[in-house]
């Protein structure tokens, strides 16, 4: 594999190595996801996401691309200094609506509006770019075979709620979601290179929340209550960062369960997510984010196309899931064109 002068791996199409039975595994995954959605609809009389079913905050803000990036970080969306409007959805990763008193993976999904350039998928005429982050640096089911096994386990757990949910973290402390650092977990193309992204608390307002325990007295809706209380009087800033791949052996593309060592390539700042004070979780916003919006890593610029086995499974899985969920709820599936599309 060709290396750059900076010892980062250069992106080429052959960094991906599909498994021989990958298509069959993906179809089985999609079938299992559909079964879980249909059974969840029977329980709730409402279509839920296959993951990240419960939101905690729906926010407007800006993505500010750093003005003085070095050449190897000045790629794709980050090639030029710019400020983009964004919608942020903060969520829990389970496919069921569970109490916020359970320690679980939390999501930080960013929809960047008004982005121009070639798209990751043929025929996609969109102008938004989705960045999907979770407060854990790796994906335990790091390839498509493990992805299928995790999906089948999630289906079984949804039928037997007494079983621990796969997105829960037994023994882990339950902490304030706004103080967490969030990660792409899987690799993406980063223009001429390959990267993983992360977003870390930057402003003192959210840095002070890192590791802060969730008060049991706040009950099952604790995280939405905490987010609403915070954003009623405070803004928040997160540093968006890229970790470029320096070695495909120790920083693989095909197995998202492997932690990329920072000793080989640290996370470098590429921009800032700025979120002003606002009403974080109105009824109108919750309905819009949960029932109208879709987030998909393949809603993206070709310069940042998702890479690896799990991400290839997501092409059809996410599209199929979103269409089916909107059909179940008889709601339109609409991409926002302007930040004013986000309800107050």
Task: Render pLDDT for 170-187 as a digit per residue (tens, 0 to 9).
Answer: 667 899 999 999 999 999
Higher pLDDT, 50 or 277: 277
Say whether pLDDT at 6 is over 80.
no
Proportion of the chain above pLDDT 70, given as a percent: 95
Length of the chain: 344
- Specify which of 42-51, 162-171, 190-199 reaches the highest per-range mean pLDDT: 190-199
- pLDDT at position 170 is 61
pLDDT in tens, 239-252: 999 999 999 999 99
Indicate which CATH number applies to the domain containing 125: 2.40.180.10
Q: Among 61-70, 108-117, 165-174, whose mean pLDDT is lowest? A: 165-174
| Rounded (5°) CA angle 69-238-61 | 100
pLDDT in tens, 126-152: 999 999 999 999 998 888 898 888 888
- pLDDT at position 169 is 65
Q: What are the tokens at 278?
A: 């606002």
- pLDDT at position 15 is 96
**Beta carbons within 10 angstroms of residue 232's beta carbon:** 11
pLDDT category of residue 233 using cuts at 50, 70 and 90: very high
- pLDDT at position 3 is 47
Contact, 317 vs 30, CB < 8 A?
Answer: yes
Say whether pLDDT at 67 is over 90.
yes
pLDDT category of residue 162 using cuts at 50, 70 and 90: low
Mean residue pLDDT of the chain comes to: 92
Report residue 157 CA to chain centroid gap. Answer: 22
Q: Is residue 160 part of a domain?
A: yes
Structural domain for 211, as ranges: 13-248+264-341
Contacts of 81 (CB under 8 A, 6+ apart): 65, 66, 67
Higher pLDDT, 64 or 96: 64
Q: Is residue 313 part of a domain?
A: yes
| DSSP per-residue letters across 161-217 | TTSPPTTB-TT---B-GGG--EE--S-EEETTEEEEEEEEE-SHHHHTTTTPBPPGG
Contacts of 137 (CB under 8 A, 6+ apart): 183, 185, 196, 198, 259, 260
- pLDDT at position 2 is 47
Contact, 90 vs 305, CB < 8 A?
Answer: no
Report residue 205 CA to chain centroid gap. Answer: 23
**Total number of domains in the chain:** 1
Contacts of 36 (CB under 8 A, 6+ apart): 50, 95, 151, 154, 155, 158
| Helices of type H across the chain | 22-44, 144-159, 204-207, 222-231, 283-287, 309-329
**Beta carbons within 10 angstroms of residue 67's beta carbon:** 9
- pLDDT at position 200 is 98
- pLDDT at position 284 is 96
- pLDDT at position 232 is 98
Q: Is residue 1 part of a domain?
A: no
Helix (H, G, I), strand (E, B) or coil at 62: strand
Proportion of the chain above pLDDT 90, given as a percent: 74
Global pTM value: 0.93
Instruction: Quote the DSSP letter at residue 269.
Output: E
| Helices of type H across 10-133 | 22-44
Say whether pLDDT at 305 is over 50.
yes
Q: Among 5-9, 164-168, 170-174, 188-192, whose mean pLDDT is lowest? A: 164-168
Q: What is the mean pLDDT of residues 300-318?
A: 93
Q: Is residue 258 part of a domain?
A: no
Q: Which residue has the tokens 């839920």?
A: 48
Say whether pLDDT at 285 is over 80.
yes
* Per-residue buried b or exposed e for 106-138, using 16+ beta carbons within 10 Å of the residue's own CB: bbbbbbbbebeeebbeeeeebbbbbbbbbbbbb
Q: Is residue 131 part of a domain?
A: yes
């Amino acid at each position: 594999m060709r290396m750059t002068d900076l010892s980062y791996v250069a992106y080429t199409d052959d960094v991906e190595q599909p498994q021989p039975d990958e298509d069959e595994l993906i179809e089985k995954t999609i079938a299992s996801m559909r079964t879980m959605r249909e059974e969840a609809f029977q329980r709730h009389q409402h279509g839920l996401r296959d993951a990240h079913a419960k939101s905690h905050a729906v926010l407007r803000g800006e993505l500010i691309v750093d003005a003085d990036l070095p050449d190897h970080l000045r790629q794709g969306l980050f090639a030029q200094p710019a400020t983009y409007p964004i919608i942020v959805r903060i969520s829990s990763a389970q496919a069921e609506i569970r109490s916020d008193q359970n320690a679980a993976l939390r999501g930080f999904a960013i929809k960047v509006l008004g982005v121009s350039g070639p798209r990751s998928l043929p025929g996609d005429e969109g102008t938004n770019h989705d960045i999907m982050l979770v407060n854990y640096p790796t994906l335990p089911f790091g390839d498509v075979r493990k992805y299928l096994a995790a999906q089948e386990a999630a289906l079984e757990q949804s039928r037997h709620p007494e079983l621990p949910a796969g997105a829960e973290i037994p023994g882990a402390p339950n902490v304030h979601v706004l103080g967490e650092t969030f990660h792409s977990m899987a690799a993406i193309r980063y223009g001429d290179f390959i990267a993983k992204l992360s977003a870390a608390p930057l402003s003192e307002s959210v840095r002070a929340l890192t590791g802060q325990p969730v008060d049991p007295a706040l009950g099952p809706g604790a995280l939405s209550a905490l987010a609403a209380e915070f954003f009623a009087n405070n803004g928040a800033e997160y540093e968006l960062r890229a970790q470029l791949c320096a070695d495909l052996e120790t920083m693989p593309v095909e197995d998202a369960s492997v932690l990329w060592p920072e000793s080989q390539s640290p996370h470098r700042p590429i921009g800032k997510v700025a979120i002003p004070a606002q009403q974080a979780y109105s009824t109108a916003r919750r309905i819009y984010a949960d029932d109208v919006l879709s987030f998909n890593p393949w809603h993206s610029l070709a310069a940042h196309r998702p890479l690896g086995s799990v991400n290839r499974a997501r092409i059809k899985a996410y599209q199929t899931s979103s269409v089916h969920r909107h059909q179940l709820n008889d709601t339109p599936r609409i991409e926002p064109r302007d930040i004013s599309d986000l309800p107050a």
